[in-house]
Amino acid sequence: DGGITQSPKYLFRKEGQNVTLSCEQNLNHDAMYWYRQDPGQGLRLIYYSQIVNDFQKGDIAEGYSVSREKKESFPLTVTSAQKNPTAFYLCASSERTGNQPQHFGDGTRLSIL
């Protein structure tokens, strides 16, 4: 089945630690996105990538980093510089052209230990 796989489903971070969230898709989509959702809030865009080896900052990129070495993969690292990382993280993908809907993975819940 084609889809987007995020792992792990739950993740705990210690103070001062970097953690990496995985996102893999087999939909052959060019574009991939990372969002953060806080309780009762909308989705906020962290980073997005239109093609391999290229990515752009979204609205809340500070404290996060990404890479796009393969079309299928778009991992997100939450660095120690992100002081309030507890949230629901969602990865999405879409065809490169504009006007296309995005398809989401089932998310990773990150909490601070």
Partner 1 sequence: RKEVEQDPGPFNVPEGATVAFNCTYSNSASQSFFWYRQDCRKEPKLLMSVYSSGNEDGRFTAQLNRASQYISLLIRDSKLSDSATYLCVVSRGSTLGRLYFGRGTQLTVWP
Between 57 and 70, CB nearer to partner 1: 57
Number of residues assigned to the chain: 113
Q: What is the DSSP string of 49-81?
A: EEETTEEEE-SS-TTEEE--SBTTB--EEE-TT
User: Contact between 28 and partner 1 (CB under 8 A)?
Assistant: no
User: Contact between 31 and partner 1 (CB under 8 A)?
Assistant: yes
For 93, phi then psi, to 5°, come to: -140, 160
Nearest approach, Cβ of residue 38 and partner 1 (Å): 11
Between 65 and 104, CB nearer to partner 1: 104
* Residue count, binding to partner 1 (CB under 8 A): 25
Distances (CA, A) of 35 to 1, 97, 102: 23, 19, 12
Interaction site with partner 1 (CB under 8 A): 31, 35, 41-43, 45, 48, 50, 56, 88, 90, 94-107
